[in-house]
Structure 1
Amino acid sequence: MGELPALSLADWIVLAVVDEEPTHGFAIAALTTEHGDLGRIWHVPRPIVYRSLDRLTGLGLIRVEATEAGSRGPQRSVLTTTPAGNAAVIAWLHQPVGHVRDMRSALLAKLALLARRRLDSTDLLAAQRDVLTPVHEALERQQADATGFGRVLLAWRLENVGAALRFIDTVAG
């Protein structure tokens, strides 16, 4: 797959859940509530789930596979990914995040989604380490010359990158 589509984290989560198995918006919204399996990482309110489904359909990443009677309401659409949607999900799940600030959201979401699929996260974690290691080394080099508040900011950034690397080591086991 070439360049990944420019999607929000909510869009990626919705797309990845649809890619697991054909499903409908209400089931996705249940997973992404504040206390849902995925919502504990990144809460996606129900209106955003449905907006994402519309967007992903418009982009040709998902399609309606069937309609079925809803248990308490109107018919619902059962959605599945297209080949392009499946390829995008697979590529995204294995792509490390670019910044430490995205580890709490996007990396944890990817780890959870990989675990739901019973897929190994070793390659993703190794790639994430490869992204962060040069950042950590560069910050360490800058530390000697830092003064004033720049030194404080640098210390903060260095500690965050170091914590992220320790997290990767812990999770990678």
Structure 2
Amino acid sequence: MKSEANPKLSTTDWAVLAALLNQPSHGFRIASLFAPEGELGEIWRIQRTQVYRALEHLEARGLIEAVRQEEGDAGPPRTLFVATATGQASVLRWLQTPVTRLRYGRSDLRLKIAFLMRLGYDPMPLLEAQKRVFVEILESLQKQPLEAEGIHLVSVLWRLEMAKASLRFIEQLLGRSVPLAK
């Protein structure tokens, strides 16, 4: 069993690992969290088969371990998993690290904010760090010449507008008078 301090994982792997931070769980329960009607289904959807694949992957890397089995309502017993100490440290580091690409704001960043809130952590340090990253990205994009043409112009304008919108999103969360943490 391999154990990694700083693993390279997919968004789905990180989401499944984060779901195991507050209590042991089994694949069916985790899949329901990310189902369309689940608590996090609006942010990231994971099918049951993907959850089980992620559990196998995380266990093989030493980031989670099986702790016991419990009887299900129907079907075979369900294996309960928990994050190992390495898994906990890794996912907490991931949750507190800002995304470095605009496209990950839609998935990873929103998952990180949601998990920090679910777990009772203050998301403000992440939001402050994310604001700095998005300001840097926006400033870099604003330096690019807008004399571009064709497809390049479409790309530059899209990234510029996404950077502005992403920064507004962060600023709105930072400006809320009601705390985001529980």
TM-score, scaled relative to structure 1:
0.93
Gaps of 5+ in 1: none
Distance of 2:82 and 2:159 partners within structure 1: 41
- Go from structure 1 to structure 2 and tell me whether the alpha carbon gap of 1:147 and 1:60 turns closer, same or farther (over 3 Å shift): closer
- Please tell me whether residue 37 in structure 1 is matched to residue 66 in structure 2: no
- Go from structure 1 to structure 2 and tell me whether the alpha carbon gap of 1:70 and 1:40 turns closer, same or farther (over 3 Å shift): same
Q: How many residue pairs are counted as aligned between the two chains? A: 171
Distance of 1:156 and 1:62 partners within structure 2: 39
Gaps of 5+ in 2: 176-182
Q: Which amino acid aligns with 2:17?
A: L
- Residue 133 of structure 2 corresponds to 131
Deviations 1:88-118 (A, max 9, x none): 1100000111111111111111111111112
- Residue 28 of structure 2 corresponds to 26
Distance of 1:9 and 1:27 partners within structure 2: 18
State the secondary structure of the residue aligned to 2:39: coil
State the secondary structure of the residue aligned to 2:66: strand
- Residue 91 of structure 2 corresponds to 89
Q: How does 1:1-173 map to 2 (within 5 A)?
A: 4-143=6-145, 146-149=147-150, 150-173=152-175
Structure number with higher helix proportion: 1
Q: Which amino acid aligns with 1:171?
A: L
Q: CA deviation at 1:151?
A: 4.1
Which runs of at least 4 in structure 1 moved beyond 4 Å after TM superposition? none
- Native 8 Å contact 1:67 1:76 kept in 2: yes
Deviations 1:106-154 (A, max 9, x none): 111111111111211111111111212122112112236x332344432
Distance of 1:80 and 1:148 partners within structure 2: 52
Q: CA deviation at 1:3?
A: 6.0
- Native 8 Å contact 1:143 1:151 kept in 2: no
Q: Which amino acid aligns with 2:168?
A: R
Q: CA deviation at 1:156?
A: 2.2
Distance of 1:88 and 1:65 partners within structure 2: 19
Percentage of identical aligned residues: 41
TM-score, scaled relative to structure 2:
0.88
State the secondary structure of the residue aligned to 2:69: strand
